[in-house]
Amino acid sequence: MTSTLQLQVQDVELMVLTGIYSEETKLPQLLRVSVFADLDAPDRFTHDMKLSESKNYMDLKDAVLTVCPEGVHFTLVEAVADAIIDRLLEDDRVRKATVRIVKVAISENGESIGIERMRSR
């Protein structure tokens, strides 16, 4: 039997310089980022297993918060997603990484407008 585990961190908000229009290139925009990392996993987790049998999900949040340095402009949010995925895939245990990004400022009626990017080994 093959088992997987998906770690999730959803709706992390951060300000990022991103966009192609002149009004977007001067001020950071609020992005809402969700990250999913699929790992190979044991068939069962027991009460005495160590974290090394899994992955600390705070690593996912850290990847979101640290890959966009202040003052760096990302023309496309796809590049933000790729930077996060690159960070997640530095860990050999991650088999697949998915990033969803919502550009909060362009929502007019509460809808989520953005992208989803996925890469696997």
Q: Can you give the residue range of the structural domain that contains 107?
A: 3-120
What domain count does the chain have?
1
What would the 3-class secondary structure string for 7-27 be?
A: EEEEEEEEEEEECCCHHHCCC
Which pLDDT score is estimated for 72? Answer: 84
Question: What is the pTM (predicted TM-score) of this model?
Answer: 0.89
Instruction: Scan for tokens 């088999």, then name that residue.
Output: 95
Which pLDDT score is estimated for 40? Answer: 84
Quick: pLDDT tens for 42-71. Answer: 777 778 877 777 778 899 999 999 988 777
Q: Could you tell me the CATH number of the domain that includes residue 55?
A: 3.30.1130.10
Quick: pLDDT tens for 77-113. Answer: 999 999 999 999 999 989 999 999 999 988 888 888 9
Question: In 1-121, which residue ranges form alpha helices assigned H by DSSP?
Answer: 58-66, 77-88
